[in-house]
Chains A and B, each alone.
Chain A
Amino acid sequence: DAGITQSPRHKVTETGTPVTLRCHQTENHRYMYWYRQDPGHGLRLIHYSYGVKDTDKGEVSDGYSVSRSKTEDFLLTLESATSSQTSVYFCAISETGPGELFFGEGSRLTVL
């Protein structure tokens, strides 16, 4: 299994609070991604990174920010959580841009 760790794995928070999800990899892969998975929508890309300090927006980036200060860590921040951000969040890594993705186990976030 690829060395990808997501934390926390489960979180319940209240509307308006900030939340940070962490993705840590031990594979030294260049590309890192944050997806959210919702019933009826499949997986949708939030943000991705193609190197340290190099990030870009995905399909559903509104309300989210990311940071990558080290190769191994990719942080996803919800500045002010809303109920619509209740979802399962997956981090993924890739050695090459259009190649195979390795996924973490997911972080289930509930915003009350």
Chain B
Amino acid sequence: SQQGEEDPQALSIQEGENATMNCSYKTSINNLQWYRQNSGRGLVHLILIRSNEREKHSGRLRVTLDTSKKSSSLLITASRAADTASYFCATVPLGGGSQGNLIFGKGTKLSVKP
């Protein structure tokens, strides 16, 4: 069953603009992760935020987590054409055991126009 749902499904912006993607999930989590997938390639890990964290930064990426609303957002600042990709949130449900299997959403397709 799908745990995370990204919103919007697709986003088109101009280079230099900021891109914001949202993720909502259903059950309590251990952590939430964001991944990027370029067309025809495997997924690449971007950032992990734990359930006791509210905000995290990595370069041009800013992730927030609101556990009361069961939602997260990924902000990419000053976007570049190279940021064009699909972005997925993935959650590790609380109580998932040591295996801690990730459950992925369906992704947001970001297009950054030069």
Contact = CB atoms under 8 A, between A and B. Distances in A.
B99 A42 contact: no
A56 B105 contact: no
B99 A102 contact: no
A34 B104 CA distance: 13
Interface string B87-114: 0101010001111111111110000000
Contacts of B105: 42
A102 B45 contact: yes
Contacts of B35: 101
Interface string A22-63: 000000000101010000111111001010000010110000
A97 B96 CA distance: 9
B109 to A, nearest CB: 11
A25 to B, nearest CB: 13
Contacts of B99: 31, 48, 50, 56, 97-98
Interface residues of A, number: 28
Given A98-B92, A105-B41, A106-B41, A40 B100 contact: no
A48 B104 contact: no
A103 B48 CA distance: 16
5 contacts: A42-B2, A56-B99, A90-B42, A97-B96, A97-B101
Interface of B: 1-2, 30-31, 33, 35, 40-45, 48, 88, 90, 92, 96-107
